[in-house]
């Protein structure tokens, strides 16, 4: 099945928009990771990043989650808005940034890229996923921006 590129997926599924907005951060990231594992089990490593991005956007949409692909990340320095072309691979529910990689190993700069996107978008949680591994769980990193336990606990309940 071919899925055309769309910058934003809207859900026709039975999982309601209201229910998805009530998900705790843990539940939301758990669903994202579960969808990624499903894709990795079916396709395995070795494909292009864009293939995994398309499939993950499709799976998340099937779960009733709002997904924006290639979300522009604005960079504002003092009063100057810089049009640098930064893009986050996926933005899920306007709460979690997902960066996808297909490489031998994750480097610290990959983690810093995700952290920069979180800061610029003023979000707390991001997932860095490397699909070029035998077991996907070995290629997933959760990155938290300005970690405050109280804020995370309040969102989880």
Q: What is the pLDDT of residues 38-68, one digit of tens each?
A: 999 999 999 999 999 999 999 999 999 999 9
Long-range contacts of 7-12 (CB under 8 A, 24+ apart): 7/68, 7/69, 7/70, 8/66, 8/67, 8/68, 8/69, 9/57, 9/58, 9/60, 9/61, 9/66, 9/67, 9/68, 9/69, 10/61, 10/66, 11/61, 11/62, 11/63, 11/64, 11/65, 11/66
Q: Whole-model pTM? A: 0.79
In this model, does residue 128 exceed pLDDT 70? Answer: yes
Mean pLDDT, the chain, whole residue set = 84
CATH number at residue 108: 3.40.1350
Whether 101 is in a domain gets the answer yes
Domain enclosing residue 74, as ranges = 18-156
Tell whether 122 is covered by a domain.
yes
Residue 40 counted as domain residue: yes
Note whether residue 93 is domain-resident: yes
Residue 99 has pLDDT above 80, yes or no: yes
Domain count, the chain: 1
Residue 3 located in a structural domain: no
Helix (H) or strand (E) holding 28: helix 25-43
Q: Is 82 buried (19+), middle (13-18) or exposed (0-12) by CB count in 10 A? A: exposed
Taking alpha carbons only, the member of 92, 62, 88, 89 closest to residue 75 is 88
Q: Is residue 144 part of a domain?
A: yes
The answer to the question of residue 94 being in a domain is yes
Q: When comparing pLDDT for 81 and 103, which is higher?
A: 103
* Predicted local distance difference test score (pLDDT) of residue 111: 96
109 lies in a domain? Answer: yes
């Amino acid at each position: 099945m071919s899925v055309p590129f769309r910058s934003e997926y809207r859900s026709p599924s039975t999982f309601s928009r209201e229910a998805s907005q009530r998900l705790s951060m843990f539940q939301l990231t758990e669903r994202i990771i579960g969808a990624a594992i499903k894709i990795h089990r079916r396709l395995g490593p070795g494909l292009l990043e864009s293939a995994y991005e398309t499939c993950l956007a499709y799976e998340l949409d099937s779960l009733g989650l709002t997904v924006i692909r290639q979300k522009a990340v604005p960079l504002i320095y003092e009063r100057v808005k810089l049009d640098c072309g930064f893009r986050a691979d996926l933005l899920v529910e306007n709460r979690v940034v997902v960066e996808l990689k297909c490489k031998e190993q994750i480097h610290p700069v990959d983690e810093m890229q995700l952290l920069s996107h979180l800061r610029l978008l003023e979000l707390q949680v991001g997932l860095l996923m490397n699909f070029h591994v035998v077991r996907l769980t070995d290629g997933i990193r959760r990155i938290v921006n300005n970690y405050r336990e109280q804020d995370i606990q309040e969102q989880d309940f």
